[in-house]
A and B are shown apart, each in its own frame.
Chain A
Amino acid sequence: MKRYVIIGTSAAGVSAAEVIRKLDKTAKIIMVSDENYPVYSRCLLSYYLANDIPEEKLKYRDEKFFDQNSIDPVLGKKVVKIEPQKKVVLLEDGSKIEYDTLLIATGARAKLENIPGKEKYGVFGLRTISDAKQINTRLNKTKTAVMLGGGLIGLKAAYAVHKRGTEVVVVVKSPHILSQIMDSEPAEIVQKHISQKGIQIQTNLAAVEILGSNQEVEGVKLENNTVIQCELIIVGKGVQPNIELVKDTEVKTNYGIVVNEYLQTSVDNIYAAGDVAESNDLISGNLTINALWPNAVIQGKIAGYNMVLGNTKKYDGTLAMNSVEFFGLPVITCGVTKQKDETIEVLVTKNENKPVYKKFFIKNGVLIGFVLIGDVEQAGVYNSLVRKKVDITKIKESLVSEKFDFAKILPLVNANKEKFFEPEYCEIV
């Protein structure tokens, strides 16, 4: 009976466990997590914080998940080290778990900047259910909240806190919000929309110090020496992968844990998936972490297959994608979303009144990325063009058309049957 150990009970861990159980009915599966909470969806925390959903709905799998899949859960215990030679993982309480094959799906944690005063009570990330609950408590004492960072996490948190009736100021170091995933023109449309709903946004400013006596947050000082009085600070400055457990082992790391196309690490019986795994980017081919839910689920699945059946299923690479909605304005981005150089052709269509904004990035005739604001319904069709890397020259005009839909790419599907090989494409005859 084979022993599979999975570190992490989020997206990648869960999907791997399910696949392993499906393929091997008798194996022993152990899942370890430092959180003392069953399987929940991190991405829903901002919805929970906003009171859009009750705590109950955070659950990604129901309570019976471990039982139903005959998984032994080890919860509330952090893995401090793995020992590949001995095939064991060491927990913080000193106990050990043996494995035949290991999946590291430890994810990532909120990056806290090195700002003086960051240890004061009232400074949080929004990454775990415990973060969310602490913020919840703190909100009772909060008149003004400051978000450090104008990325997706910062803005989603800002939306949530605003929804709870708290004054919100978003402090952004870059010249505009969402600077990681789009350039200034689309960002300004989103920025305008959010501002109109009552969230203050201050750009081109960094926080230099978190103020407050008695170890409680009372304000934040910015680099222009202004001070914003606030009781709550949420830091949304990106995440960093949890790789400490493989420090000083044969498991190769870069920014995260490096994996090959089978999601296998440099150690044969150790795989990694999710936000901790650094794999080849679908577009650039470079090692990248695109920390997001769909990637984690698919990586977990593929890792699970390969852990059971040997390296049989390939991962075609990680793709940057994001979907958010702010006050009724949906935004979806995918792939390359900035014009890095002149070899990238850019197509834009916009209608500021609605607002609708679409921007497409094309290189050598291939769609390599897009930004959609307002009208996102056909995002997946564009997404498939990015993934299939087909020459879209023939349909370039309909790409930007309001009437774009799957039918418009039918000529490409028919001309590239080897790339559109999925059986579903044969269901239109």
Chain B
Amino acid sequence: MKKTIIVETEKCLGCKTCELVCAVQHSNTKNLELAVFEQPTPVPRRKVEYINSVIISDGCHHCEEALCVSACMSAAMYKDVDGTTQHNEEKCVGCNMCIMVCPFGVIKRKGNVVVKCDLCKGRENGPACVESCPTKALKVSMQLQQIS
């Protein structure tokens, strides 16, 4: 199975709620009003992008052939048992190799390490962005994965 987030561009209104809740979810306080004052500022792992009138909320696609995992020289980036691509900030040295190869440009720097979507691992109700999307433009998808 491959777990990832599907984006329906036609439903995305560019409200950036996903960015906001993502940053809060990955903050220390997990509370919007407090998170905005945290230092370092919490970093969202989704990004609302656009071309012409198409708006996309994009984040890690947890690629089957994850180039970031191959590129990582400190083994911080890895494929988890559930097929998701996960990142261990403890091991990260901030070499940017993953950023160099990520075809979606969704790996971000936070201080000396990189951060990316972890599909809100361990969160009871699944990814915060999916839960909070007011138009349900984001959905968690489980796809049968090809043998890789």
Contacts and interface: CB of A to CB of B under 8 A. Distances in A.
Contacts of A222: none
B93 interface: yes
B8 A407 contact: no
A294 B104 contact: no
B103 A57 contact: no
B103 A323 contact: no
A427 B61 contact: yes
Given A422-B65, A427-B5, A41 B75 contact: yes
A380 B74 contact: no
Interface in B90-123: 91, 93-109
Contacts of A405: 47, 49, 58, 105
Contact of B58 (A57, A324, A428): A428
A15 B71 CA distance: 11
Contact of B107 (A380, A384, A408, A410): A380
B40 to A, nearest CB: 14
B105 A378 contact: yes
Interface in A280-339: 293-294, 297-298, 301, 321-325, 330, 332, 334
B21 to A, nearest CB: 20
Contacts, number: 138
13 contacts: A43-B95, A57-B91, A293-B97, A321-B101, A323-B97, A323-B100, A324-B95, A325-B94, A376-B100, A398-B51, A405-B49, A406-B56, A408-B49
A48 to B, nearest CB: 10
Contact of A294 (B9, B49, B91, B97): B97
A406 B106 contact: yes
Nearest to B48: A407
A429 B49 contact: no
A323 B99 contact: yes
Question: What's the dominant secondary structure at chain B's contact region?
Answer: mixed
A227 interface: no
Which of B98, B99, B107: most chain A CB closer than 10 A?
B99
A52 B99 contact: no
Which of B2, B50, B61, B74: most chain A CB closer than 10 A?
B74
Nearest first, the 10 A-B pairs at minimum CB distance are A380-B102, A407-B49, A294-B71, A384-B103, A424-B61, A378-B105, A381-B105, A43-B73, A297-B70, A323-B96
Given A376-B99, A411-B51, A422-B65, 18 more contacts: A43-B73, A43-B95, A294-B97, A297-B70, A323-B95, A323-B96, A376-B96, A377-B105, A377-B107, A380-B105, A384-B103, A398-B51, A405-B105, A408-B49, A423-B2, A423-B143, A424-B63, A429-B6
Contact of A53 (B93, B99, B106): B93
Interface residues of B, number: 46
Nearest to A395: B51
Contacts of A61: 75
A383 interface: yes
A371 to B, nearest CB: 12
Interface string A57-69: 1001100000000
Given A380-B100, A427-B5, A429-B6, A407 B67 contact: no
B128 interface: no
Interface string A103-120: 000000000000000000
Contacts of B70: 15, 294, 297-298, 301
Which of B7, B100, B106: most chain A CB closer than 10 A?
B100
B89 to A, nearest CB: 12
A422 B7 contact: no
B34 interface: no
A271 interface: no
Contact of B108 (A325, A377, A411): A377
Nearest to A398: B51
Interface string A392-408: 00000010000001111
A407 B50 contact: yes
Nearest to A60: B75
Contact of B7 (A41, A324, A334, A428): A428
Given A325-B96, A332-B96, A405-B49, A381 B103 contact: yes
B54 interface: yes
B77 to A, nearest CB: 11
Contacts of A324: 95-96
